[in-house]
């Protein structure tokens, strides 16, 4: 990834968080504030009338000589006897009434008021607008880094519109933001950034605004609603979702890009299904936490596989029109548990890739299950578990195998087996474990190849043919024995591998043997194809097959100038049928071999 | 990179919590100010309760001032100082001057971002001073034999507060919310027309004080009108037409 983009993502998280904090503070600062009124005066009535009748010349006229209240006045001030004070007070009420003033009310000061920080419409942006602008700012920054997603890009426009509508649903109109709303903002912001990144890296992606809105709503709203009340819970949720929301959103968008048809048009099933799985991922991560980077990567990898199924078979994640988040979560959790408990290297990326293969293949065939909505992920889990266990056993028995097979090649073999087996869908059901037999055959054979006579490409081909034969001739060569013993095919392959190893031990065998590499692979492939329809013959006449291999090897080493790889394979093909029927190969000398090679 | 990102997330979370804490602290302080204010003014017949409310206001003033001094954000500082000064003023705590002064200093660069709070910080000490004078007025007016000296002192104190408030009106007229200016005008109206024009001047008149209270009141009235302050509680006729040499 571009370092500028990483830097940008970090900056935007910090900026959006900072704006959220500032918005909360702004809201608190700008709450209406008390402007106290003056404390009330409690004047003596004598004070009041002295003030009232001397404040203006007009009022003074009432108490001066000739005035209606002059008898209660003494020179420049009111007489102090109660009768005079009362008379003057009543007189003040009368005069005020004549002036059109409520005397009593006029003497009472105004009370306190609650004042806003700003006049309506003149203050700074509301907290909501600030956050919206910050989001816009993020988009602008992104455009600066990658002009390809400029604001006139229709995909960017639709993405931003869907983001805004979802955010608007989360946030109250009055700007009353609490921790829950800020959490929603972080989640949605993460999706916006990931969405822009997806548009940037998938120029052909067609974003449908309505679909994306539905996806976001289904994925995020329930998560926000479950945001815990406790402080420690909130800290964990924020940390976990910060770590996972970006990769999850990126994976979701990539899935949409890869399955465009499902995310356009009138049906929203794919969006609901994808939303259910995304929600499951976020809740699983938030509630159970992420132990380390590996568990995060693992969960994201599993999520990516499950949303692939959700995109192509959305009905598996929907019931009665509602998302089945619990099922998606159970699937993610059970796979994550198996992953965490697997032995290296199957507890990390290799395991995730194997799990993805199992999820994809089994999920694609889920409709064949008696109860497709409930059983497919259980079988997928079983497949995944068996793949990891069998590969682990093979590695434990044959440590040299690591030199031939890289981690990716283990995954390739697992994927090849599953893909080929899926051509006979009856093998991928809850009641059939033929796939297990194929896996066991291949891994047991791998364990037996201690001399490393086959390359990784050879093993892939053998696995492919074994799976094809299992699919076309089920319940024969690859059926596990009742006590979980190895399938018959294992004995056949092992016989060839053992024969090849023995040939090396013959005088000059190491230099002259031809049963290695491509020849050995072709011999195994031919043997599997020959025995697939007649598995019984192996259990009865394996000894004859072993004799044949040994005879051919002996001949090839002794008459190396006459018997090369091509001749060896020709003779093997010519004689294997008889050996499987129980016919002893007898003395295979050069004359007999030559006749056979000449079609005799 | 991993450690860096983890650290970043942690720092962000801590910063968010710290931010939320400030926001909550501000919100709570603002709410407490209103609650204690009403408590103080609604329990006038229960001295013990009133004292409790006043003590709470004093404590709130100290706590808010401490928060103002601690926080780095200037706008948060201003809000905390506004709460501190208002609470101290209502508690009759002289610290109101200190809090208002410190807050006003921060406002020098940030007035337009917090116009209400900055506006209040310029006159909250005048309101406190008026309340202090009113307490003295109530005591003197209802005493057995108020003296001219007491009455004159009360008048002069009120007069000084009124002059400050009228002088401040011009600045506030262009720099605070309109509704706040209206309320501020009403405070001046109350102070000039009732507290001074009727009652303080009446007390001076009653006690035969020798200051020309009427003349000085008329000058306040005239100054207020010159500043285009609406005085609805003064008599509707007989307003002074020019400043007088008292």
Chain A residues within an 8 Å CB radius of B206:
46-47, 50, 77-78
Q: Are A387 and A354 in contact (CB under 8 A)?
A: yes
The answer to whether position B184 is within a domain reads yes
Higher pLDDT: A266 or B230? It is B230
Of B16, B26, B120, which is closest to A28 when you measure between CB atoms?
A: B26
pLDDT value at residue B11: 44
Which two three-digit tokens encode residue A163?
Answer: 């983001």
Name A115's bridge partners: A33
Contact A182 B16 (CB under 8 A): yes
- Report the alpha-carbon distance of residue A489 to residue A536 in Å, rounded: 11
pLDDT value at residue A12: 55
pLDDT value at residue B67: 95
Contact B201 A51 (CB under 8 A): yes
DSSP state of A429: B
Tell me the backbone φ, ψ of residue A52, rounded to 5 degrees.
-60, -45
DSSP B123-144: HHHHHHHHHHHHHHHHHHHTSS
DSSP state of A33: E
The answer to whether position B196 is within a domain reads yes
Question: Comparing C-alpha atoms, which of A176, A275, A289, A287 is closest to residue A221?
Answer: A275
- Report the alpha-carbon distance of residue A462 to residue A456 in Å, rounded: 10
Q: Are B183 and A113 in contact (CB under 8 A)?
A: yes
| pLDDT interval class at B160 (50, 70, 90) | very high
Q: Are A338 and A388 in contact (CB under 8 A)?
A: yes
- Report the alpha-carbon distance of residue A417 to residue A420 in Å, rounded: 5
Among B34, B67, B95, the domain-final residue is B95
Peptide bond into A345 cis (omega under 30): yes
Q: Are B123 and A115 in contact (CB under 8 A)?
A: no
Q: B223 and B121 in one domain? A: yes
Is the pLDDT assigned to residue B153 strictly greater than 70? yes
Contact B113 A49 (CB under 8 A): no
Residue of chain A nearest B194, judged by CA positions: A107
Chain A residues within an 8 Å CB radius of B20:
21, 24, 179
DSSP state of A432: B
Q: B121 and B222 in one domain? A: yes
The answer to whether position B108 is within a domain reads no
Q: B141 and B55 in one domain? A: no
Cα of B191 to nearest chain A Cα, Å: 8
Which two three-digit tokens encode residue B34?
Answer: 């209103």
Chain A residues within an 8 Å CB radius of B115:
117-118
Tell me the backbone φ, ψ of residue A562, rounded to 5 degrees.
-95, -35
Using DSSP, state whether A485 is helix, strand or coil: coil
The answer to whether position B102 is within a domain reads no
Size of interface A-B (CB pairs under 8 A): 219
- Report the alpha-carbon distance of residue A348 to residue A337 in Å, rounded: 12
**Which residues, including other chains, have CB under 8 Å from residue B42's CB and lie 6 or more apart?**
none
Chain B residues within an 8 Å CB radius of A78:
206
Measured between its terminal Cα atoms, the distance across chain A in Å is 65
Which ipTM score applies to this complex? 0.90
The answer to whether position B152 is within a domain reads yes
Q: Is 0.80 surpassed by the pTM of this model?
A: no
Is the pLDDT assigned to residue B30 strictly greater than 60? yes
Q: B137 and B30 in one domain? A: no
Chain B residues within an 8 Å CB radius of A106:
193-194, 233
Question: Comparing C-alpha atoms, which of A441, A445, A436, A434 is closest to residue A472?
Answer: A434
The answer to whether position B242 is within a domain reads yes
Q: What angle do CA B199, B205, B211 make, to 5 degrees?
A: 105
Of B134, B183, B208, which is closest to A41 when you measure between CB atoms?
A: B134
pLDDT value at residue B15: 46
Compute CA distances A572 → A517, A520, B189, whole Å.
16, 11, 118
- Residue A268 CB-half CA count within 13 A: 17
Name A322's bridge partners: A319
Is the pLDDT assigned to residue B2 strictly greater than 70? no
- Report the alpha-carbon distance of residue A208 to residue B149 in Å, rounded: 84
Which of B34, B57, B116 to probe the A interface (max A CBs under 10 A)? B116
Question: Comparing C-alpha atoms, which of A389, A376, A477, A483 is closest to residue A434?
Answer: A477
| pLDDT interval class at B7 (50, 70, 90) | very low
- Report the alpha-carbon distance of residue A405 to residue A553 in Å, rounded: 27
Q: B123 and B89 in one domain? A: no
- Report the alpha-carbon distance of residue B66 to residue B81 in Å, rounded: 9
| pLDDT interval class at B9 (50, 70, 90) | very low
Chain A residues within an 8 Å CB radius of B23:
21, 24-25, 27-28
Q: B80 and B125 in one domain? A: no
pLDDT value at residue A1: 40
| pLDDT interval class at B4 (50, 70, 90) | very low
Q: Are B122 and B171 in contact (CB under 8 A)?
A: yes
Chain B residues within an 8 Å CB radius of A43:
137-138, 141-142, 199, 202-203
Give pLDDT tens digits for A49-82. 999 999 999 999 999 999 999 999 998 899 999 9
Cα of B22 to nearest chain A Cα, Å: 7
Chain A residues within an 8 Å CB radius of B18:
21
pLDDT value at residue A500: 93
Cα of A216 to nearest chain B Cα, Å: 23
* Residue B102 Ramachandran class (φ > 0 left, ψ -120 to 50 alpha, else beta): alpha
Q: Are B76 and A25 in contact (CB under 8 A)?
A: yes
pLDDT value at residue A499: 93
**Which residues, including other chains, have CB under 8 Å from residue A254's CB and lie 6 or more apart?**
A198, A202, A304
Chain B residues within an 8 Å CB radius of A56:
235, 237-238
Number of C-beta neighbours around residue B136 at 10 A:
15
Q: Domain range holding B220? A: 114-246
Which two three-digit tokens encode residue A567?
Answer: 């001749």
pLDDT value at residue B1: 39
Chain B residues within an 8 Å CB radius of A110:
183, 186-187, 189-190
Q: B231 and B141 in one domain? A: yes
Q: B143 and B179 in one domain? A: yes
Length of chain B (residues) = 246
Please give the tally of structural domains in chain B.
2
Among B46, B64, B95, the domain-final residue is B95
Question: Comparing C-alpha atoms, which of A109, A106, A100 is closest to residue B234?
Answer: A106
3-state helix, strand, coil in chain B (%, to 5): 80, 0, 20
The answer to whether position B39 is within a domain reads yes
Least confident range from A9-23, A88-102, B171-185, B207-221: namely A9-23
Contact A34 B33 (CB under 8 A): yes
Of B12, B17, B190, which is closest to A14 when you measure between CB atoms?
A: B12
Which two three-digit tokens encode residue A330?
Answer: 């159970």
Q: Are A504 and A452 in contact (CB under 8 A)?
A: no
| Spans of chain A, pLDDT less than 70 | 1-20, 123-153, 157, 163-179, 200-207, 231-232, 291-294, 368-374, 425, 427-433, 474-475, 481-485, 600
Which of B206, B232, B233 to probe the A interface (max A CBs under 10 A)? B206
Number of C-beta neighbours around residue A479 at 10 A:
18
- Report the alpha-carbon distance of residue B138 to residue A38 in Å, rounded: 13
Residue of chain A nearest B218, judged by CA positions: A55
Contact A18 B15 (CB under 8 A): yes
- Report the alpha-carbon distance of residue A387 to residue A439 in Å, rounded: 7
Q: B219 and B161 in one domain? A: yes
Q: B183 and B70 in one domain? A: no
Which of A21, A45, A234, A245 to probe the B interface (max B CBs under 10 A)? A21
Q: B69 and B176 in one domain? A: no
Compute CA distances B172 → A113, A120, A412, B115, B184, whole Å.
17, 17, 77, 9, 9
Of A35, A55, A56, which is closest to B183 when you measure between CB atoms?
A: A35
The answer to whether position B212 is within a domain reads yes
Alpha-carbon torsion (A502, A503, A505, A506), positive or negative: positive
Q: B147 and B241 in one domain? A: yes
Name A330's bridge partners: none
Among B65, B95, B125, the domain-final residue is B95
């Amino acid at each position: 990834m571009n370092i500028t983009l990483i830097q940008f993502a970090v900056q935007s998280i910090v900026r959006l968080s900072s704006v959220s904090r500032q918005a909360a503070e702004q809201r608190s600062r700008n709450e209406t504030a008390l402007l106290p009124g003056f404390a009330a005066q409690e004047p003596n009535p004598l004070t009041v009338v002295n003030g009232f009748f001397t404040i203006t010349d007009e009022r003074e006229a009432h108490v001066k000589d000739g005035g209606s209240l002059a008898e209660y006045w003494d020179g420049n001030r009111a007489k102090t006897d109660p009768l005079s004070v009362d008379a003057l007070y009543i007189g003040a009420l009368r005069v005020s009434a004549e002036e059109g003033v409520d005397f009593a009310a006029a003497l009472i000061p105004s009370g306190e008021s609650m004042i806003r920080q700003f006049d309506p419409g003149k203050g700074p942006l509301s907290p909501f607008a600030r956050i919206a602008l910050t989001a816009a700012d993020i988009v602008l920054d992104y455009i600066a880094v990658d002009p390809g997603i400029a604001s006139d890009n229709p995909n960017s426009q639709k993405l931003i519109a869907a983001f805004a509508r979802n955010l608007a649903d989360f946030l109250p109109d009055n700007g009353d933001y609490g921790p829950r709303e800020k959490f929603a903002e972080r989640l949605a912001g993460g999706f916006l950034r990931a969405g822009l990144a997806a548009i940037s890296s998938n120029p052909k992606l067609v974003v449908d605004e309505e679909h994306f809105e539905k996806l976001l709503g289904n994925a995020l709203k329930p998560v926000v609603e479950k945001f815990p009340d406790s402080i420690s819970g909130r800290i964990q949720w924020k940390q976990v979702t910060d770590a996972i929301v970006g990769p999850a959103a990126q994976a979701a968008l990539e899935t949409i890009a890869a399955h465009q048809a499902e995310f356009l048009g009138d049906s929203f099933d794919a969006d609901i299904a994808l939303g259910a799985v995304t929600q499951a991922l976020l809740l699983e991560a938030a509630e159970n936490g992420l132990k380390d980077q590996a568990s995060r990567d693992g969960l994201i990898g599993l999520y990516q596989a499950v949303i692939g199924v959700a995109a192509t078979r959305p009905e598996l994640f929907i019931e009665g029109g509602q998302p089945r988040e619990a099922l998606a979560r159970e699937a993610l959790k059970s796979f994550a548990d198996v992953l965490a408990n697997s032995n290296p290297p199957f507890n990390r990326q290799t395991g995730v890739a194997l799990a993805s293969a199992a999820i994809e293949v089994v999920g694609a065939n889920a409709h064949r299950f008696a109860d497709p909505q409930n059983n497919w992920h259980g079988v997928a889990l079983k497949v995944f578990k068996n793949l990891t266990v069998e590969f682990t056993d093979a590695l434990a028995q044959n440590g040299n195998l690591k030199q031939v097979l890289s981690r990716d090649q283990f995954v390739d073999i697992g994927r090849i087996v599953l893909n080929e087996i899926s051509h006979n869908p009856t093998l991928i059901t809850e009641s059939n474990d033929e796939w297990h037999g194929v896996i066991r055959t291949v891994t047991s054979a791998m364990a037996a190849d201690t001399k490393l006579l086959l390359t990784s490409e050879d093993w892939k081909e053998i696995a492919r043919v074994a799976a094809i034969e299992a699919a076309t001739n089920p319940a024969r060569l690859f059926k596990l024995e009742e006590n979980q013993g190895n399938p018959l095919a294992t004995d056949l392959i092992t016989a060839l591998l053992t024969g090849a190893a023995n040939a090396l031990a013959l005088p000059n065998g190491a230099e002259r043997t031809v049963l290695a590499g491509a020849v050995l692979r072709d011999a195994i492939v031919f043997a599997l194809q020959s025995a697939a329809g007649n598995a019984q013959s192996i259990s009865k006449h394996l000894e004859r097959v072993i004799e044949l291999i040994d005879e051919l090897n002996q001949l090839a080493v002794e008459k190396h100038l006459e018997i090369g790889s091509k001749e060896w394979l020709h003779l093997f093909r010519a004689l294997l049928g008889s050996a499987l029927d129980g016919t002893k190969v007898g003395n295979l000398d050069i004359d007999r071999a030559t006749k056979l090679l000449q079609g005799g | 990179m991993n450690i860096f990102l983890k650290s970043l997330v942690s720092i962000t979370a801590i910063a968010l919590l710290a931010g939320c804490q400030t926001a909550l602290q501000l919100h709570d302080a603002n709410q407490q100010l209103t609650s204690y204010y009403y408590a103080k003014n609604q329990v006038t017949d229960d001295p013990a309760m009133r004292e409790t409310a006043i003590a709470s206001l004093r404590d709130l003033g100290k706590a808010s001032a401490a928060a103002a001094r601690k926080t780095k954000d200037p706008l948060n500082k201003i809000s905390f100082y506004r709460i501190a000064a208002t609470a101290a003023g209502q508690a009759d705590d002289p610290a109101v001057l200190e809090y208002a002064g410190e807050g006003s200093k921060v406002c020098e660069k940030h007035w337009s971002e917090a116009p209400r709070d900055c506006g209040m910080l310029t006159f909250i000490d005048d309101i406190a001073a008026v309340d202090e004078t009113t307490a003295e007025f109530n005591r003197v007016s209802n005493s057995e034999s108020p003296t001219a000296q007491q009455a004159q002192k009360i008048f002069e104190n009120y007069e000084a507060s009124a002059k400050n408030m009228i002088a401040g009106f011009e600045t506030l007229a262009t720099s605070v919310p309109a509704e706040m200016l209206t309320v501020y005008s009403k405070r001046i109206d109350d102070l000039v027309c009732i507290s001074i024009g009727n009652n303080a001047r009446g007390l001076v008149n009653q006690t035969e004080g020798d200051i020309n209270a009427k003349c000085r009141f008329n000058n306040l009235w005239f100054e207020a009108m010159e500043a285009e302050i609406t005085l609805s509680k003064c008599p509707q006729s007989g307003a002074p037409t020019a400043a007088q040499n008292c």
